[in-house]
Protein backbone atom coordinates (compact mmCIF):
# COMPACT_ATOMS: atom_id res chain seq x y z
CA UNK A 1 0.00 0.00 0.00
CA UNK A 2 1.16 3.50 -0.85
CA UNK A 3 0.25 6.43 1.39
CA UNK A 4 1.11 10.00 0.41
CA UNK A 5 0.22 13.03 2.52
CA UNK A 6 0.59 16.62 1.37
CA UNK A 7 0.06 19.95 3.10
CA UNK A 8 0.09 23.55 1.97
CA UNK A 9 3.71 24.51 2.62
CA UNK A 10 4.31 27.29 0.10
CA UNK A 11 6.44 29.99 1.73
CA UNK A 12 4.56 32.86 0.04
CA UNK A 13 1.23 31.60 1.43
CA UNK A 14 2.54 31.43 4.99
CA UNK A 15 4.24 34.84 4.75
CA UNK A 16 0.88 36.36 3.75
CA UNK A 17 -1.11 34.50 6.43
CA UNK A 18 1.37 35.23 9.23
CA UNK A 19 1.60 38.90 8.19
CA UNK A 20 -2.19 39.31 8.25
CA UNK A 21 -2.43 37.56 11.62
CA UNK A 22 0.41 39.64 13.09
CA UNK A 23 -1.25 42.85 11.87
CA UNK A 24 -4.61 41.83 13.37
CA UNK A 25 -2.98 40.75 16.63
CA UNK A 26 -1.17 44.10 16.83
CA UNK A 27 -4.50 45.90 16.33
CA UNK A 28 -6.15 43.70 18.95
CA UNK A 29 -3.46 44.39 21.56
CA UNK A 30 -3.43 48.12 20.82
CA UNK A 31 -7.20 48.65 20.90
CA UNK A 32 -8.47 45.97 23.29
CA UNK A 33 -5.59 45.68 25.77
CA UNK A 34 -4.08 49.19 25.74
CA UNK A 35 -7.35 51.01 24.84
CA UNK A 36 -5.63 53.00 22.06
CA UNK A 37 -7.80 53.23 18.92
CA UNK A 38 -6.40 51.14 16.07
CA UNK A 39 -6.22 53.42 13.04
CA UNK A 40 -7.61 56.89 12.32
CA UNK A 41 -11.20 55.69 12.09
CA UNK A 42 -11.21 52.59 14.28
CA UNK A 43 -14.25 50.35 14.42
CA UNK A 44 -15.93 48.89 17.49
CA UNK A 45 -14.02 46.36 19.59
CA UNK A 46 -16.41 43.56 18.64
CA UNK A 47 -15.60 44.07 14.94
CA UNK A 48 -11.86 43.88 15.63
CA UNK A 49 -12.36 40.74 17.70
CA UNK A 50 -14.45 39.24 14.88
CA UNK A 51 -11.75 39.92 12.25
CA UNK A 52 -9.02 38.58 14.55
CA UNK A 53 -10.98 35.36 15.01
CA UNK A 54 -11.63 35.12 11.25
CA UNK A 55 -7.95 35.51 10.32
CA UNK A 56 -6.88 33.03 13.00
CA UNK A 57 -9.59 30.65 11.79
CA UNK A 58 -8.37 30.93 8.20
CA UNK A 59 -4.79 30.25 9.34
CA UNK A 60 -5.93 27.19 11.33
CA UNK A 61 -8.10 25.95 8.42
CA UNK A 62 -5.30 26.14 5.83
CA UNK A 63 -2.73 24.71 8.23
CA UNK A 64 -4.90 21.63 8.83
CA UNK A 65 -5.80 20.86 5.21
CA UNK A 66 -4.13 17.59 4.22
CA UNK A 67 -4.42 15.77 0.89
CA UNK A 68 -4.13 12.06 1.64
CA UNK A 69 -3.84 9.47 -1.11
CA UNK A 70 -3.97 5.74 -0.37
CA UNK A 71 -3.36 3.22 -3.16
CA UNK A 72 -3.40 -0.56 -3.19
CA UNK A 73 -4.11 -3.12 -5.93
CA UNK A 74 -7.89 -2.78 -5.56
CA UNK A 75 -8.59 0.90 -5.01
CA UNK A 76 -7.38 4.48 -4.76
CA UNK A 77 -8.71 6.46 -1.80
CA UNK A 78 -8.42 10.25 -1.71
CA UNK A 79 -9.16 12.29 1.41
CA UNK A 80 -9.01 16.07 1.27
CA UNK A 81 -10.92 17.21 4.36
CA UNK A 82 -12.88 19.37 4.78
CA UNK A 83 -13.16 19.83 1.01
CA UNK A 84 -13.59 16.13 0.12
CA UNK A 85 -14.43 13.71 2.92
CA UNK A 86 -13.36 10.60 1.01
CA UNK A 87 -13.44 9.46 -2.58
CA UNK A 88 -12.94 5.77 -3.28
CA UNK A 89 -11.94 4.84 -6.82
CA UNK A 90 -12.07 1.14 -7.60
CA UNK A 91 -9.34 -0.03 -9.97
CA UNK A 92 -11.95 -1.93 -12.02
CA UNK A 93 -13.65 1.43 -12.79
CA UNK A 94 -10.46 2.99 -14.20
CA UNK A 95 -9.81 3.04 -17.95
CA UNK A 96 -6.40 4.71 -17.60
CA UNK A 97 -4.16 5.94 -14.77
CA UNK A 98 -0.93 7.73 -15.53
CA UNK A 99 1.61 10.02 -13.88
CA UNK A 100 1.69 13.35 -15.69
CA UNK A 101 3.25 16.77 -15.54
CA UNK A 102 0.55 19.45 -15.66
CA UNK A 103 0.07 23.20 -15.32
CA UNK A 104 -2.12 23.81 -12.24
CA UNK A 105 -2.84 27.48 -12.93
CA UNK A 106 -3.52 27.08 -16.64
CA UNK A 107 -5.40 23.77 -16.55
CA UNK A 108 -7.27 24.05 -13.23
CA UNK A 109 -7.09 27.71 -12.22
CA UNK A 110 -5.12 27.15 -9.00
CA UNK A 111 -4.31 24.55 -6.35
CA UNK A 112 -6.86 22.99 -4.01
CA UNK A 113 -10.17 21.34 -4.86
CA UNK A 114 -10.66 22.51 -8.44
CA UNK A 115 -12.72 21.93 -11.54
CA UNK A 116 -11.06 22.71 -14.86
CA UNK A 117 -11.09 22.02 -18.58
CA UNK A 118 -9.81 18.50 -17.99
CA UNK A 119 -12.12 17.59 -15.08
CA UNK A 120 -11.66 17.65 -11.31
CA UNK A 121 -8.35 18.14 -9.53
CA UNK A 122 -7.25 17.68 -5.93
CA UNK A 123 -3.84 19.25 -5.54
CA UNK A 124 -1.76 21.06 -2.93
CA UNK A 125 1.40 22.12 -4.72
CA UNK A 126 3.72 21.25 -7.54
CA UNK A 127 3.01 20.17 -11.09
CA UNK A 128 2.96 16.37 -10.91
CA UNK A 129 -0.22 14.38 -10.74
CA UNK A 130 -1.93 11.04 -11.06
CA UNK A 131 -4.33 11.49 -13.97
CA UNK A 132 -7.25 9.09 -13.83
CA UNK A 133 -9.72 8.48 -16.63
CA UNK A 134 -12.73 6.47 -15.57
CA UNK A 135 -14.42 3.99 -17.90
CA UNK A 136 -17.37 6.42 -17.83
CA UNK A 137 -15.13 9.09 -19.42
CA UNK A 138 -14.90 11.24 -16.29
CA UNK A 139 -11.43 12.63 -15.42
CA UNK A 140 -9.72 13.25 -12.08
CA UNK A 141 -6.24 14.53 -11.30
CA UNK A 142 -4.67 13.93 -7.89
CA UNK A 143 -1.56 15.97 -7.11
CA UNK A 144 1.47 13.88 -6.13
CA UNK A 145 4.99 14.64 -4.91
CA UNK A 146 6.82 11.31 -5.29
CA UNK A 147 6.04 9.84 -8.72
CA UNK A 148 8.64 7.07 -8.42
CA UNK A 149 6.63 5.42 -5.63
CA UNK A 150 3.64 4.94 -7.93
CA UNK A 151 5.56 2.78 -10.43
CA UNK A 152 5.07 -0.36 -8.33
CA UNK A 153 1.40 -0.48 -9.31
CA UNK A 154 0.90 -2.17 -12.69
CA UNK A 155 -2.22 -0.15 -13.55
CA UNK A 156 -0.34 3.19 -13.31
CA UNK A 157 1.73 4.32 -16.30
CA UNK A 158 4.59 6.70 -15.53
CA UNK A 159 4.75 9.06 -18.53
CA UNK A 160 7.70 10.93 -17.00
CA UNK A 161 10.19 8.13 -17.66
What's the Cα-to-Cα distance from 9 to each of 31, 69, 102, rounded to whole Å?
32, 17, 19
- The model's pLDDT over 12-59, given as tens digits with 9 standing for 90+, comes to 999 999 999 999 999 999 999 999 999 888 889 999 999 999 999 999
* CB-CB neighbours of 149 under 10 Å: 13
Single pTM value for the model: 0.82
Spatial separation of the C-alpha atoms in residues 6 and 111, rounded to whole Å: 12
Spatial separation of the C-alpha atoms in residues 123 and 30, rounded to whole Å: 39
Give the 3-state secondary structure of residue 25.
helix
- The model's pLDDT over 86-141, given as tens digits with 9 standing for 90+, comes to 999 999 999 999 999 998 888 888 788 888 777 899 999 889 999 999 999 999 99
Amino acid sequence: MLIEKQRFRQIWLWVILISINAFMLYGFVQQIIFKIPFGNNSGPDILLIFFCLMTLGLFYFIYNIVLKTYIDNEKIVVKFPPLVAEEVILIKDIAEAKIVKYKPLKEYGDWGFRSGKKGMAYNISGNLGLSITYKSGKHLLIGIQKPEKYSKFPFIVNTLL
